[in-house]
Amino acid sequence: MSQVLSVDRENFQAEVMDSSIPVLVDFWAPWCGPCRMVAPVMEELAQDFADQLKVVKINVDENSALASQYNVMSIPAIMLFKNGQVVEQMVGFKPKAALAAKIQSQL
């Protein structure tokens, strides 16, 4: 079962902005090759940081307003939210170790 939650504009406020723990957000699309490469990494991170971090994904094709709100120009765009604020931002495929280091620095 997936540890990564799909988020849209309906539940973004509750799942991301109001979260009591940091949230790693993956802005992606089904047609994006690098997005498909990062998906298993997101699953692993969700398991590795299960009690400390929430991992969610937002389909930019279905949630263009959210993508625009956060100036997503290229995907995958990965953002780490803490207390409703973006504290880390990365674009493109990143190896698990690089993402884990960014997460650790914010925990």
Which positions are annotated as active-site residues?
Answer: 32, 35
Burial class of residue 95 in the structure, from the number of CB atoms within 10 Å of its CB (0-12 exposed, 13-18 middle, 19+ buried): exposed
| Alpha carbon distance 77, 6 (integer Å) | 15
* 14 DSSP assignment: I
What is the rounded CA–CA span in Å between residue 96 and residue 107? 16
Length of the chain: 107
